[in-house]
Structure 1
Amino acid sequence: MTETSSDYDTTDVLVVGSGIAGCAAAFQAARGGADVCLVTKAERPDDTSTDWAQGGISTTRDDPESLKTDILAASDGTADPDAIDVLVENADDAVEDVLLETLEIPFDETADGAFDYTREAAHSENRILHVDAATGTHILRPFLNHIDDHERIEVRQDTAALELLTHEGRVHGVLTDEVATGHPVCAGTTILATGGIGALYSRSTNPDDATGDGIAMAALAGADVADLEYVQFHPTAYDGDDPFLLSEALRGEGAVLRNGDGERFMADSHPDAELAPRDVVARAVETEREATGKVVLDVSTLEGEFDAEYPALAQKCRDRGIDGTEIPVAPCEHFLCGGIDVDERGRTSLDRLYAVGECARTGVHGANRLASTSLLEGLVWGLRAGEDAATTDADPKIVETPDLRNSDPELPERFAAEKAIRLRQTMDEYLGLERDPDDIARASAVLRRLKGEVDAYVRTRTARDLYELRNASVVALLIARAASENGESAGCHYVVEDSSDEQMAEHPTSD
């Protein structure tokens, strides 16, 4: 197990993050004979994005070519075919091995005992395993229990990673916040599974602490990142305070979108109507909200009764005073398709550093993710990275750690929160569903100033919320940079010219 001293800890494999990708990596590394330490900021399962995942996990249903075709089409033709092959060719074995045989996940079944496969947007057939519309919860909690009980795995909750420990181009673990000036956990190999970036936007389907920590730490250490401009917005999140996701499975089973005039509109936007790719539906929903005042998801057209088929979602609606069949919806930040650039085993450009799950860019998603492939990608790449890390001949090495200071007085209680609000306002306004080149430049300028302010305080304080703010500002800047370098619209990176500029061109002023 992890060896502990007063000054540092050592372990064979260190995993940072406790969603499905982190759990899969820890599980497989331990199964390969490694001693594993898993550190996570989470204190409860619902602190992770996996626990919030609704729709399900895709399988091939013995037709891998069909799934490959759908993934590539949803990505607007930009996904990496080799990465898609890795995902699809390992999908069913991973689901069978871990979710069915090891964890015995009770996926929904039909009356005759067969799996109740459902369909979601941009899928050409029913191939998605699910549990109600709360699949992530039903997968993650048994997985965490299994990890907790494993004799080779130590789990440390409420523990944030602050910095990667590097020496001569090699990663040797992380510095955690277990003590005020940082506590080193040295590892033979390190696997980042830190999730997404939802906290960079004011409306997100991610937990509040999804601040892009792994991406920021890796980028600051010199790791390659890619495709960060591709931020996916889910088209149907509850349009109100405390947004929650209304799974695409609802539209897969017959729910329809209506504008403020009561009209269905998706058939005019795409041949697949409500089941078009997410980026297409999200932009159409936002257009109709602006034109008619609102958009609702009408669940009266479902094949079954909403309350009976989706009891968890129905309860969330009742909790917000929605007792009818029309639920107000709006696009909401959902998933980062890019991240730390990795290969087919999750290896990054830095020696002995891996990345899996949403913080990683495998190439599977390209410019737009196909529904219900995120849990699958986290599972497949988590298993592959864990296996590879366990077989790497890399003993933990004690290295010199950064000299963190915690000497200055604490900042005002709302300092980090107010800076975070400013960051989210910038991302909402300039790097949302549609991007204008001039707006991207404005965002970059604001974010550079913000990062400079935050860096000045981080130098003398090691508070977790400050490091999260630093990480968020680093990733926000990387997103702005990637967006500025890509002038071509693809998937969820949709570039438009400023309407005021167009109007000036059409109606120039005379001097």
Structure 2
Amino acid sequence: MTGEPRETELLVVGSGIAGCAAALAGARAGASVTLATKATRPEESTSYWAQGGIAVSRGDAEQFKRDIIAASDGLADETAVDVLVESADEAVEDVLVETLGVDFDGDDGHEYAREAAHSEPRILHVDAATGKHLLGPFMSHLESHDDVEILADTAALELVTAEGRVHGAMLEQNGEWAPCLAGATVLATGGVGACYGRTTNPPTAAGDGVAMAALAGADTADMEYVQFHPTAFAGEDGDDRGTFLLSEAVRGEGALLRNADGERFMPDYHEDAELAPRDVVARAVRAERERTGGVSLDVGPVDFEAEFPGLASACRDRGVDIEAGIPVAPAEHFLCGGVAVDTEGRTSLDQLYAVGECARTGVHGANRLASTSLLEGLVWGLRAGEAAAGNEPVAVEVPELRDSDPSLPDSFAEEKFIRLRRVMDDYVGIERTPSDLDRAAGVLRRLKGEIDAYIRTRTSRSLYELRNACIAALLITRAARENETSRGCHHLVEEAAADAD
């Protein structure tokens, strides 16, 4: 221990919409809240990168529920979906409109967009950068709250546990670490984008919450269901980390997908064409890229400059001739599984909660419906923050983190990350085979053993992030190997077909 220990009633790890909502609800319930985040600015949060918007029920919760379950390939938990759709409108109005004053598009803030697999327009948005316009005001509101302390550029290294209960976490800031003992702990750390080469997530999305919870003994579920977004900008080869999302709202407004031969292909894959569920569109885009050499998003049917000025600017900055089509490819986008939780975010460990993308609420099943991620984070964040309030921290023995050996080179973690991403891209991507999954598991086990050997005598944020990403990757791979049924975004192919490709 090299820093000053802390105590708080409620520790929230992560500053996306789920973490902010948990902190707000905890403070509203009278708890003292400490929010620890690796981010130093809002754009380092996954929620900030959310483009499309936030779905609401518009008074028809039953139809919203049907759309969610259909997109989930029938695997969504109906109880969880009921919680989401019945809470949606009130949560958005209370927090985003009345508390934060978010100015959604439309003359009265109610211009609803339609996205893939939605039966009707129901998505509130701000341009194609909704997350950006939510996170800034949310963080500013929390910073002004007397009962909330925000620790920026602060990483949780591991959970503090004793006799099946979680008592906070070891926090690292500026190379120093110390425990933050808490009456209850909420994990809101986002997804697993750092495990893949092309992703729409920020680099900080290393699966931290899932890994820390799993190491502490918490249950995880549905880890095999990793959603790939079909239309991420396809940069030059070797430049996958600089990709960005072409929002599903663009297709909702009428944009078309064309292969390198100029052919519109989605009607051949699904009756809903460009508005088919994401897993269907992603596999189709992948197939057409391999068959013809490329896929582009034709925005000719859309007033692209006016409707999506931010995306248009991003394309121009990269030298794209928008009229000729925007090159796109699938990218890792969202983890549908995670730490298993109930309808209030409780995990299988006492006083540990998980919300947002690191949590498996059951809402998404095998495939997430567009624009439900911000909503799920908001709803479960509010519920978990309220449920977790009212507990005092308890003094317990904290883990000893050693740092007795010389520091590793700055490039060490990134070189291992490159190896990890290559394995996940090659063997645990949009399509999988049993032999590929076995191969990936073997490589990842060896990599984890190597990382564990270093971490026994060294403490650094980059090393713990690498360990967490490796654990998350192993959980995904093992779950995929154990599930022999293709559903949603877990798609198995025959070995012979894979060899032919």
Aligned to 2:345: 346
Pick from 69, 73, 78 the counterpart of residue 75 of structure 2.
78
* Structure 2 gaps, min length 5: none
Task: Name the amino acid aligned to 1:322.
Answer: V
What is the DSSP-based 3-state SS (H/G/I as helix, E as strand, rest coil) of the residue aligned with 2:97?
Answer: helix
Distance 2:113 2:262 in 1: 27
Aligned to 2:322: 324
What is the DSSP-based 3-state SS (H/G/I as helix, E as strand, rest coil) of the residue aligned with 2:432?
Answer: coil
Task: Name the amino acid aligned to 1:403.
Answer: E
Indicate whether 1:123 and 2:121 are aligned: no
Please give the per-residue CA displacement for 1:3-31, whole angstroms capped at 9, x wherever unaligned.
xx974111010000000000000001001
What is the DSSP-based 3-state SS (H/G/I as helix, E as strand, rest coil) of the residue aligned with 1:161?
Answer: strand
Pick from 143, 148, 154 the counterpart of residue 149 of structure 2.
154
Distance verdict in 2 for CA 1:348–1:114, change over 3 Å: closer
Aligned to 2:134: 139
Task: Name the amino acid aligned to 2:314.
Answer: K
> What's the offset of the Cα at 1:182?
2.8
Indicate whether 1:442 and 2:422 are aligned: no
Q: Please list, as runs of the form range in 1=range in 2, the aligned pairs for 1:333-412 lying within 5 A after superposition.
A: 333-391=332-390, 394-412=391-409
CA contact (8 A) 1:181 1:405 kept: no
> What's the offset of the Cα at 1:501?
7.7
> What's the offset of the Cα at 1:502?
7.2
Aligned to 2:205: 210
Pick from 414, 417, 435 the counterpart of residue 417 of structure 1.
414
Distance verdict in 2 for CA 1:118–1:500, change over 3 Å: closer
Distance 1:61 1:93 in 2: 10
Aligned to 1:507: none
TM-score, normalising length: structure 2? 0.97
What is the DSSP-based 3-state SS (H/G/I as helix, E as strand, rest coil) of the residue aligned with 2:170?
Answer: strand
Aligned to 1:294: 294
What is the DSSP-based 3-state SS (H/G/I as helix, E as strand, rest coil) of the residue aligned with 1:182?
Answer: strand
Pick from 412, 418, 429 the counterpart of residue 426 of structure 2.
429
Aligned to 1:33: 30
CA contact (8 A) 2:3 2:176 kept: no
Task: Name the amino acid aligned to 1:438.
Answer: S
CA contact (8 A) 2:226 2:332 kept: yes
Indicate whether 1:276 and 2:276 are aligned: yes
Pick from 477, 485, 489 the counterpart of residue 474 of structure 2.
477
Distance 1:281 1:60 in 2: 24
Indicate whether 1:165 and 2:160 are aligned: yes
Task: Name the amino acid aligned to 1:425.
Answer: R
> What's the offset of the Cα at 1:180?
4.9
Task: Name the amino acid aligned to 2:275.
Answer: L
Task: Name the amino acid aligned to 1:259.
Answer: N
Distance 1:501 1:137 in 2: 40
Pick from 14, 23, 33 the counterpart of residue 17 of structure 1.
14
Aligned to 2:254: 254
Number of paired residues? 494
Pick from 32, 48, 63 the counterpart of residue 51 of structure 1.
48
What is the DSSP-based 3-state SS (H/G/I as helix, E as strand, rest coil) of the residue aligned with 2:300?
Answer: helix
Distance 2:146 2:377 in 1: 23
CA contact (8 A) 1:122 1:275 kept: yes
Task: Name the amino acid aligned to 1:224.
Answer: D
> What's the offset of the Cα at 1:390?
1.2
Distance 1:362 1:500 in 2: 34
> What's the offset of the Cα at 1:324?
2.4
* Structure 1 gaps, min length 5: 504-511
Distance 1:132 1:333 in 2: 23
Indicate whether 1:96 and 2:96 are aligned: no
Distance verdict in 2 for CA 1:351–1:250, change over 3 Å: same
Aligned to 1:176: 171
Aligned to 1:454: 451
Please give the per-residue CA displacement for 1:271-300, whole angstroms capped at 9, x wherever unaligned.
100000000000000100011111000001
Task: Name the amino acid aligned to 1:230.
Answer: Y
Distance 2:387 2:101 in 1: 25
Distance 1:347 1:251 in 2: 37
Distance 2:174 2:291 in 1: 53
Pick from 171, 186, 189 the counterpart of residue 184 of structure 2.
189
Distance 2:337 2:443 in 1: 22
Please give the per-residue CA displacement for 1:199-244, whole angstroms capped at 9, x wherever unaligned.
0000000001110001000000000000000000000000113110
Distance verdict in 2 for CA 1:427–1:6, change over 3 Å: closer
Q: Percent identity?
A: 66
Task: Name the amino acid aligned to 1:371.
Answer: A
> What's the offset of the Cα at 1:413?
2.0
Aligned to 2:311: 313
Distance 1:365 1:469 in 2: 27
> What's the offset of the Cα at 1:140?
0.6
Distance 2:317 2:30 in 1: 47
CA contact (8 A) 2:103 2:109 kept: no
TM-score, normalising length: structure 1? 0.95
Runs of 4+ aligned residues of structure 1 deviating over 4 Å after TM superposition are 500-503
Task: Name the amino acid aligned to 1:76.
Answer: D
Distance verdict in 2 for CA 1:255–1:502, change over 3 Å: closer
Task: Name the amino acid aligned to 1:183.
Answer: A
Distance 1:397 1:35 in 2: 15
Distance 1:338 1:107 in 2: 29
What is the DSSP-based 3-state SS (H/G/I as helix, E as strand, rest coil) of the residue aligned with 2:431?
Answer: coil
Aligned to 1:508: none
What is the DSSP-based 3-state SS (H/G/I as helix, E as strand, rest coil) of the residue aligned with 2:423?
Answer: helix
Distance 2:326 2:70 in 1: 29
Distance 1:181 1:208 in 2: 22
CA contact (8 A) 1:430 1:443 kept: yes
Distance 2:174 2:46 in 1: 26
Distance verdict in 2 for CA 1:246–1:500, change over 3 Å: closer
Distance 1:412 1:175 in 2: 24
Indicate whether 1:239 and 2:234 are aligned: yes
